[in-house]
Amino acid sequence: MILAVLFANSVGNVLIERFNGVPAEERLHWRSFLVKLGAENLKGVKNEELLVACHKSVYIVYTMLGDVSIFLVGKDEYDELALAEAIFIITAAVKDICGKPPTERVFLDKYGRICLCLDEIVWNGLLENTDKDRIKRLIRLKPPSEF
């Protein structure tokens, strides 16, 4: 289960978050935990360099993309490596939409499409589509494979 996908800006404002199977009262904790993790470790990190953390049996993989930090929290089959796969797909999709590692402005300009993309990548806490072209087609309401 991918418990959470969270985008934050460089100063720790949450831009997008998607929680799956996390009780409402724990979300606040995750949010602050992740933002703190990012604040402590993401300074000077290269774009898309993956960082890792774990808490009990829950894994966290996070990275920086332009001005935006991206966090993924998962457990069970979504261990650090599976999350690394997922975050790679997400960063690729975001870069694709924004054209480059996004500044915050650009990210917010494309906010709606990023949400749609995310909807295609992580569906109910499970990784869904991993292929870039396929995601692109799906957010335009085209079938996943075209003829």
Least Å from the CB of residue 95 to other proteins: 18
Which residues 2-41 are close enough to bind other proteins by CB under 8 A?
3, 6, 8-19, 22-33, 35-36, 41
Report the distance separating Cα 115 and Cα 4, nearest Å: 14
Report the distance separating Cα 79 and Cα 99, nearest Å: 29
Within 8 A by CB and 6+ apart from 100, the residues are 66, 106
By CB under 8 A, residue 56 contacts other proteins: yes
By CB under 8 A, residue 45 contacts other proteins: no
Among 50, 95, 101, 136, interactor with other proteins by CB under 8 A: 50
Q: What is the DSSP code (8-state) at residue 17?
A: E
Least Å from the CB of residue 112 to other proteins: 3
Instruction: Choose among 52, 85, 90: nearest CA to 68.
Output: 90
Binding letters toward other proteins, positions 63-102, x by CB under 8 A: ----x-------x-x-xxxxxxx-----------------
The site for other proteins, by CB under 8 A, has a size of 78
By CB under 8 A, residue 133 contacts other proteins: no
Report the distance separating Cα 48 and Cα 29, nearest Å: 25
By CB under 8 A, residue 46 contacts other proteins: no
Pairing of strands 122-123, 14-19: unpaired
By CB under 8 A, residue 116 contacts other proteins: yes
Among 42, 101, 104, 136, interactor with other proteins by CB under 8 A: 104
- Classified as helix, coil or strand, 71 is strand
Count the Cβ atoms, other than its own, within 10 Å of residue 116: 17
